[in-house]
Structures are given as C-alpha cells and as structure tokens.
Amino acid sequence: MPAQPDSLRAGLRSSSYGPQAPFPDSTYWIDTSQAMAALFPASGPALVWIVGEINSDGSTGMAMLSFPAPMDQATTYTNILFSGVDRNEAYLSAFDKNGIKVWLQVEPGDADLPALIDLVLQRYGSHPCVIGFGVDVEWYKWNHDNSPEGAAVTDTEAKAWSERVRSHNPNYQLFLKHWLTEKMPPTYRTGIMFLDDSQQFSDLAGMVDEFKQWGSTFAPSPVGFQYGYEADQTWWGQLANPPQAIGQELIRNIPNVTDLYWVDFTMEQIWPRK
C-alpha cells in the first residue's frame, strides 16, 4: 500500500450538468463521497460542489449562481445572474451532519471574482462543512474566440482572491483549477490548493506522468486531481477499481497531493443509485 499524505480528502465533483436527471439527493452524495474516501485509509470524504456555472452568449460569459440574489437590491452585480430558488442549502445542511467537507466552486466568466467570493461565502459560510472556495480558471474571462481556455491568473489576482477568501474564515483555502500550469499564478502560493482536471490520456501511466509534473510545479503547496472522465474510460474501464487504482498511483507518485475527486459524468457507473 502506498504511503498516505498527512491529510487527504477524497470524493466527487458535483455539477448540475454531470449527473443523469433527476439530480441525486443528498444521501447519494454522502454515500458516494464516503465510499470514495474509504478507498484511501485515513482520508476524509469531500465534495467539489459547483454553485456558479458559466452562462455564455457565445462571446462573453456570466456566472449563473444557484441561489437567489441577496435581499439588498441596492447592489448591482455585473455579469452575475441568480437563480430564483436556493439549490444548495438543504444539501449543505445534510453534509454538515455527516462530516462531508465541501469546496464551493464557480465558473466565473467575466464576473468580478471578489464579488463572487463574497456572495457565495456570505450565503453559505455558516455551514461547518465548507472548507473553501474554488475557481475553475478555464472559465475565467472566458471568450470563445480569444480566450477559449480562460485567462491566466496573475500573482496580484491570486493574492487578492486568497486573502478575500480567508477574510471570511482564516481556515478557508482557495483552489484554482485548470490543466495548464501556465494558467496558474507564477509565484503566489499562500492559501491555495492547485487542482488539475486534465483528461484524454492514452493510459494510466500517461496520466500519472502529467499529474506528477503538476504536483512538482506547485510543490510544496497542496495539489489535487479531478479524474474519471469519459474520454479516458477506454483504459480506466478495464481497471478492477478505477477510483482506487488511479488514486493510489497518484498518492504513490505525488507527495503533496491532498485532494482526489471522481467526476460526476461517470460516477453512477462506479456507484449506481440505489
């Protein structure tokens, strides 16, 4: 058995567009994140829970938050849309009761990141399950023609976002997600976990080699990996226990890994609904 990192979270990524309809209830997310964590001794169950998704008109992007606007209507939020109902509160309350750790993630588009951080953490920061805030950089200042993979994050931006997240709770962390290291801040590291969601590998060895580079680029900062994509199923589908086999190889080869997440696109092939 490979050595475990000092602190490891393992679970799933959740989005509105990943699972088959109807969206799974909280029991499913609790059971599956616990099942994923059980594959790695001493790890704890966790979720990447997307609360803001890109809403694009083809050239620019807006962040569509899955909860209503604040009662204070005096503030106008540019490039931020709101849902008429809260789609997260009941789930987060259930996760509180069951010891599930939760990252609240957004796909920001052209929205102001500090405003998104404040909106999300002011609404949900009272939940003990929440451990931080995540940004999918693929959708940061996304533009179909000029920036199809998102804009690179500067050190100044990373510092401002990390400090803004920790202003809500000093124990919170920020994660930045992409598959290209050049999209990450060049040198700023404080309070940040770097999450890689690359896919389309030829085999497990190819995945491990690329993820090792991600880990070494940001060491000793914590890194995480999001895997289980359909594009890789031709090879991971042949493994006896894909989430465990992949995760063990990543743990064995990347000493600063702290987070492992299976994506919701294929989770029901691994953990069918009861």
Q: pLDDT confidence of 1, banded at 50, 70, 90?
A: very low
Tokens of 169: 């709770």
> In 3D, which of 128, 87, 81, 75 has the Cα closest to residue 107?
81
Angle at 86 between CA 274 and CA 119, to 5 degrees: 125
* pLDDT tens readout for residues 11-46: 999 999 999 999 999 999 999 999 999 999 989 999
- The phi and psi torsions of 62 (rounded to 5 degrees) equal -120, 150
d(CA 154, CA 84): 34
* pLDDT tens readout for residues 221-244: 999 999 999 999 999 999 999 999
> What pairs with residue 48 in β-bridges?
13, 103
Q: By CB neighbour count within 10 A (0-12 exposed, 13-18 middle, 19+ buried), where does 113 fall?
A: buried
Query: Domains of the chain by range and CATH?
Result: 9-270 (3.20.20.80)
Please give the model's pTM, rounded to 2 decimal places. 0.95
- 8 Å CB contact between 182 and 152: yes
d(CA 232, CA 238): 11
